[in-house]
Structures are given as C-alpha cells and as structure tokens.
C-alpha cells in the first residue's frame, strides 16, 4: 500500500523521503500515463524557455552580483516549507537530484552554490522579482517574462493535480 503523502507541516526531510519513496515505487506507472508524460515534456520546455528568457534579461547576473557584493540571497531559510511532497516528486520525475541535507543554514534547503537545485518551482519562487530587478528591467520585458512563467505555472498546476489523482487512485 502506498504511504500517504506527508503533510506540508512535516519536516522537509520527510517530504523528500516520501517523494523519493514514491518515485522509486511508481516512476514507471506515472511516466506510463500519457497525460503525465505529455505534461512533463511541456513543463520541461516551458521551464527551459522561461529560464532562458531570464538569463537573456540578465536577471541571473543581477542576482549573482547582489549576492557577491551585498552578501544576500532572496532564497532565505524557510522557503522550502512551501514545497509539497507531490511537487518534489514532480522534480524527481524531471530528473532532478534533490539534496538530502541543507547547505547554508541561512538559506533555502534547495539553494546550492550554483543556484536553485529544483526545476519545477513553487509559484512563490517563480513569481518573485526583487524591487531592484523590477526597477532595472523594462516593464514590457517583465510582462513578456511573466507570460512565459504563466505557461510554466499552468502546466505545473495541471500536472500536480494529475499526479495527485493517480496517487489517490492506487490501491
Ligand atoms: S528558488 Fe529554489 S532555492 Fe530559491 S527559495 Fe525557491 S526553492 Fe529555494
């Protein structure tokens, strides 16, 4: 019998363990579902497009400079608490290697020296742009980026619901 999803109130390590357990047991079943596999592929492309747009706008460079010069990252400790087991499972299905230990105690569990280790991110993470970035990037460019991120988030929402429905239907 499938272990029920650990609640969002459980420690992040337990949610990661739950996602790893489900992936090991049910990866073939989930990837064998035509809707899941098509949504995963669409999501992969949407994430690639929105990340590439962000890089093209220089957002990654601005974040790096801010972190190096001002010693701060927006990915602070506790933000990982927004991540459900199902969202972590989707990351595993996308081939992400999820860390099992936190790096910097002051930062989000999923932040590494090279940035966020997740591909499918929570709406809070996708939508956040600091005031400095909003002031430096033209509004039209931000609107275009928001549109691409909207595609990513819509696909992720439908996929999240589909995966949950499959998990609930299993004996
Ligand atoms: S973007 Fe990634 S590292 Fe940053 S807060 Fe979100 S999950 Fe954590």
* pLDDT of 1 strictly over 50: no
| Ligand 1, atom 2, residue with closest C-alpha | 116
- The domain spans of the chain are 12-169
Compute how many other C-beta atoms are within 10 angstroms of the C-beta atom of residue 155.
Answer: 21
What is the 59 CA–ligand 1 centroid distance (Å)?
A: 15
Contacts of residue 102, defined as CB under 8 A and 6 or more positions apart, other chains included, come to 109
Q: What does the pLDDT read at residue 4?
A: 63
Distance CA 106, CA 137 (A): 28
What is the 171 CA–ligand 1 centroid distance (Å)?
A: 34
Q: What does the pLDDT read at residue 41?
A: 98
Judged on CB neighbours under 10 Å (0-12, 13-18, 19+), 168 is exposed
Q: pLDDT digit string (tens) for 123-171?
A: 999 999 999 899 999 999 999 999 999 999 999 999 999 999 999 998 7
Number of H-type helices and E-type strands within the chain: 7, 2
Structure tokens given for 131:
């005031």
Pocket lining for ligand 1, CB < 6 angstroms:
75, 79-80, 108, 110-111, 116, 118, 121, 125
pTM comes to 0.93
Among the residue ranges 1-10, 39-48, 76-85, the one predicted with the least confidence is 1-10
């Amino acid at each position: 019998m499938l272990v029920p999803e650990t609640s969002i109130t459980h420690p992040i390590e337990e949610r990661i363990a739950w996602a790893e357990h489900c992936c090991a047991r049910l990866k073939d079943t989930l990837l064998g579902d035509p809707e899941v596999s098509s949504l995963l592929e669409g999501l992969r492309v949407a994430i690639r497009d929105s990340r590439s747009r962000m890089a093209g706008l220089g957002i990654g460079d601005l974040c790096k400079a801010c972190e190096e010069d001002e010693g701060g990252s927006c990915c602070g400790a506790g933000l990982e608490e927004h991540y459900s087991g199902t969202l972590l499972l989707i990351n595993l299905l996308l081939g992400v290697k999820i860390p099992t230990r936190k790096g910097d105690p002051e930062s989000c569990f999923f932040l590494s020296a090279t940035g966020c280790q997740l591909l499918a991110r929570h709406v809070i993470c996708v939508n956040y742009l600091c005031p400095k970035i909003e002031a430096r990037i033209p509004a039209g460019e931000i609107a275009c980026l928001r549109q691409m991120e909207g595609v990513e988030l819509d696909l992720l929402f439908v996929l999240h619901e589909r995966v949950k429905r499959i998990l609930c239907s299993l004996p």
